[in-house]
Amino acid sequence: MDIDKLAAEQSPEPTEGNSRYNEVWTFHIEHEHAGEKLVGSFKNRIINNNDRLKIGNTAARMREGVPYESIDPATREFQQALAHLIVSLDAERPVWAKTLGSLKDDNVIWAIYTEVVSHEATFRGPRPDPKAHKEDQRKQDGKSGELVAGQAGAAAAVG
């Protein structure tokens, strides 16, 4: 599973309030496994350099002394994802997700991690240009940015 590719495919929603452009972002998960529906909200916080160290230490503890090279790549990637979630997610989360490592379905971990990585990629990526957004909105409204007769006089008086 290519987590970076999945995160890149997520479309950010540049809205006020709860946005992937904010340092803290709340998202909702609905996942079904073996007839059980897992539903809940999570609050993710953008990690800093100290958090990166905690993630590395947490993943290393999960290896329980087994050399990194001895672990297959899929397991290493899963350990890294799980460690990232343990560090970046707020402790207030659904009861079923209090201990992420005890979940029986790894797909729910990947679903949560995909949202978290998408948040990180959006937060650290380029910001939308507010001017371009306003121009796009004008075009959608049928106004291409041209001034109407009454607006032209007002603009001349201001400028």
- 119 and 138 within one domain: no
- 153 and 118 within one domain: no
For residue 157, what are the domain limits?
Answer: 131-159
Q: Please name which of 95, 105, 90 lies closest in space to residue 45, comparing C-alpha atoms.
A: 90
pLDDT per residue as tens digits for the range 115-136: 999 999 999 888 777 666 555 5
3-state SS, residue 1:
coil
Which one has a higher pLDDT value, 93 or 159?
Answer: 93
Q: Please name which of 134, 125, 137, 132 lies closest in space to residue 20, comparing C-alpha atoms.
A: 125
- CA 154 – CA 159 distance, rounded (Å): 9
90: left (phi over 0), alpha (psi -120 to 50) or beta: beta
Which one has a higher pLDDT value, 27 or 143?
Answer: 27
100-113 core/surface letters (b: 16 or more CB in 10 A; e: else): beebeeeebbbebb
- 110 and 43 within one domain: yes
Please, which residues bridge with residue 37 across strands?
32
Radius of gyration of the CA atoms of the chain, in A: 22
3-state SS of 78-129 is HHHHHHHHHHHECCCCCHHHCCHHHCCCHHHHHHHHHHHHHHHHHHHCCCCC
Q: Which of 10-24, 47-61, 116-130, 139-153 is the most confident on average?
A: 47-61
For residue 41, give the DSSP letter: E
- 135 and 122 within one domain: no
The answer on pLDDT for 29 being more than 50 is yes
- 45 and 117 within one domain: yes
Over residues 29-46, the mean pLDDT reads 92
- 136 and 94 within one domain: no
Over residues 102-127, the mean pLDDT reads 92
Q: Which residue has the tokens 């240009």?
A: 129
Judged by average pLDDT, the poorest of 63-77, 99-113, 132-146 is: 132-146
- 112 and 63 within one domain: yes
The total domain count for the chain is 2
- 158 and 92 within one domain: no
- 109 and 142 within one domain: no
**pTM of model > 0.75:** no
